[in-house]
Amino acid sequence: MSKLTLGSHPFLLGFEQLERLVERTAKSGSEGYPPFNIEQSGENAYRITLAVAGFSEQDLAITVEDSQLVIRGRQSDDEDGRVFLHRGIAARQFQRSFVLADGVEVAGAKLENGLLHVDLNRAEPETVVQTIKIDRG
């Protein structure tokens, strides 16, 4: 018996990319650092907020790679001979990835009070009706 996948169903032509998207999303790390929120800020607008206390703008990088929003953080090592008796504040690097749907674009990002806000907008979908001419054979 063969496994029926989304891309192999006869009524779903061209959905192989969706199947790859589901696999990529399932493989993305489920690590809890840094914590984040996702909220809908308008009818076609979203905001992702990450708690990045201790990171400066220079320590953060935001890129969109192949319909995937990638947020990376790496703090510079500036301990300058400090001796910690206890170090409970995490100073580790991170990478968070979010898969973006077609038509969703990054509108901007803002670092405020230890929170990184990334605003996303979805373009209004266009209704397209296409008439196909039938050629005589």
| Number of structural domains the chain divides into | 1
d(CA 12, CA 32): 35
Q: Which tens digits make up the pLDDT trace of 65-117?
A: 888 899 999 987 666 778 889 888 767 899 999 989 888 999 999 999 999 99
Per the domain annotation, does 7 fall within a domain? no
Per the domain annotation, does 134 fall within a domain? no
Per the domain annotation, does 62 fall within a domain? yes
Q: What percent of the chain has pLDDT over 70?
A: 78
Cis peptide before 125 (omega within 30 of 0): no
Per the domain annotation, does 48 fall within a domain? yes
The range of the structural domain enclosing residue 44 comes to 31-122
pLDDT confidence bin for 36, thresholds 50/70/90: very high
CA distances from 39 to 14, 27, 46, 60, 92 (A): 31, 23, 6, 21, 26
CATH number of the domain where residue 95 is located: 2.60.40.790
Per the domain annotation, does 85 fall within a domain? yes
Per the domain annotation, does 35 fall within a domain? yes
Per the domain annotation, does 1 fall within a domain? no
